[in-house]
Amino acid sequence: MEDVTTVVRRLLDLTVEEHTLTVPLVWGDPADSRTIDVFAAVVSRPGGETLPYLVFLQGGPGSEAPRPFHAATSPAWLDEALAHYQVVLLDQRGTGRSTPVSDGDLALGSSVVAEHLTHLRADAIVRDCEAMRQHLGAEQWSVLGQSFGGFTTLAYLSTDADSLTDVFITGGLSAIGRHPDDVYALCYDKMRDASERYYRRFPEHRDAMRRLVDRAAAGDIVLPDGEVVSVSRLRSFGSALGTDGGWQTVWSLLESDPTKNAFRYDLMNAMPYGGRNPLYFAFHESSYADGHATRWSAERTEPADFRDDPTLFTGEHIRREWTETVPAFQPWRDVALELAEFEWPSVYDASAIAASEATGAAAVYVNDVYVPYEFSLETAKLLPGVHLWQTSEHEHNGLRSGPVLSRLIDLAHGRRIR
């Protein structure tokens, strides 16, 4: 492992140290000489350079960490975090400045790329975290895991719990020991409830959605990038209902004239998955594959009422047909097909998590359409030292839109003198 660069930047009220390490692509296999870069920005306020570290693990998988520009706004939770910590914004392997996965990689061949992607999972991200922690000279640090970042935190507790002080998890208590089919089936139930709640509030929009479905079925919705929107892709814009204020996105689309530019551009931006982060599409179902192949789990578990009623919105339910109908995904078709058949090893150790004696706090969102509440409560039982905040005040993105982190810090330290 080698420290490639360390750069210090000063941005308004922040000090940012940028660190890039070269690490093995395949941890634990000395015979494999392939390497990748892992990047992290260490953010502090002036005078806060001696505070303990908090590493932030982003959701996704497939997205880089947010970029810090101003403590109060970028990202929204950063101001609170910097009152207690130096914050390590890690670009998870394959994203941002950590040897990002990109369309250009496909020239190497789909099998080569698919094999590469199998080494980008949460367990490898934990190894990268450990390398960065040691590079920074920290004996321990705390972790904040949002969504998939929470999944990665559970992997961290499975192998390296001694490196962690407090853990903070937001919408990221993943199912452990479950088949991905169980998860996606329950996510359909959550989206059914979210759909019906929305239509009870705006009943006239069910007919508006039916009209859009008819247009999509006829091939009459064409996005600026040339995508002819299928019915399944159209329904996915309802995934916005899983975010704070996301109903406004759905409302605006259903009130728009579908023949106008505003609708076409807004729909393109509202649907989950896109060409900017191809890893998110190609790799997403693997995040729930704790010892299983996925084989297009979300598609296989679609309930009969969703097949019969296309006005029911879907969430992060990927469809195989998108590899043929979505221009950004078509180049990734063979990679996605290979990954769907890959037998993913287990990534969590329930016994180790239970024995970790982890402390901290976790936000579990009652109406979460992406990380089901019921399975989160099962996992929470393994972490009795992690205070649980069960709330319906926020949706899955509550960390970015509300004072969630301050509440978790209060819960974690409520019996301690600050």
pLDDT tens profile 36-89: 999 999 999 988 999 999 999 999 899 999 988 765 567 889 999 999 999 999
User: pLDDT tens for residues 133-144?
Assistant: 999 999 999 999
Residue 350 lies in a domain: yes
In this structure, the answer to whether residues 186 and 238 fall within a common structural domain is yes
Q: Which of 341, 372, 395 is the last residue of a domain?
A: 341
| Among 132, 154, 152, 151, residue whose Cα is nearest residue 141 | 132
In this structure, the answer to whether residues 10 and 86 fall within a common structural domain is yes
Mean pLDDT, rounded, for 214-237:
97
In this structure, the answer to whether residues 46 and 115 fall within a common structural domain is yes
290 is in which domain, residue-wise? 180-341
Count CB neighbours of 12 within 10 A.
Answer: 10
Mean pLDDT, rounded, for 129-152:
98
Residue found by looking up tokens 């101001």 in the block: 79
Question: Can you tell me the distance from the alpha carbon of 181 to that of 160, in angstroms, rounded to the nearest whole number?
Answer: 29
Residue 161 lies in a domain: yes
Q: Which of 321, 341, 361 is the last residue of a domain?
A: 341
In this structure, the answer to whether residues 293 and 332 fall within a common structural domain is yes
In this structure, the answer to whether residues 184 and 311 fall within a common structural domain is yes
User: At residue 17, what is the residue type?
Assistant: E
Q: What's the sign of the alpha-carbon dihedral 304, 308, 311, 317?
A: positive
In this structure, the answer to whether residues 334 and 367 fall within a common structural domain is no
Residue 418 lies in a domain: no
Residue 79 lies in a domain: yes
Q: Which of 298, 321, 341 is the last residue of a domain?
A: 341
User: pLDDT tens for residues 177-201?
Assistant: 999 999 999 999 999 999 999 999 9
Number of domains in the chain: 2
In this structure, the answer to whether residues 132 and 25 fall within a common structural domain is yes
Residue 417 lies in a domain: no
Q: Return the structure tokens found at 160.
A: 């390296």
Pinpoint the alpha helices (H) of 43-104. 78-82
In this structure, the answer to whether residues 64 and 147 fall within a common structural domain is yes
> What phi and psi, each to the nearest 5 degrees, are found at residue 245?
75, 5
Mean pLDDT, rounded, for 348-359:
97
Mean pLDDT, rounded, for 278-291:
94
Q: Strand ranges (DSSP E) for 66-111?
A: 86-90
In this structure, the answer to whether residues 110 and 259 fall within a common structural domain is no
Residue 205 lies in a domain: yes
In this structure, the answer to whether residues 17 and 67 fall within a common structural domain is yes
In this structure, the answer to whether residues 15 and 116 fall within a common structural domain is yes
Contact call for residues 358 and 161 (beta carbons, < 8 A): yes
User: pLDDT tens for residues 228-248?
Assistant: 999 999 999 999 999 999 999
Residue 82 lies in a domain: yes
pLDDT given for residue 414 in this prediction: 79
Contact call for residues 27 and 127 (beta carbons, < 8 A): yes
In this structure, the answer to whether residues 299 and 406 fall within a common structural domain is no
Phi-psi region of 166 (alpha: psi -120 to 50; beta: other; left: phi over 0): beta
Residue 285 lies in a domain: yes
Contact call for residues 129 and 156 (beta carbons, < 8 A): yes
Question: Can you tell me the distance from the alpha carbon of 406 to that of 85, in angstroms, rounded to the nearest whole number?
Answer: 13
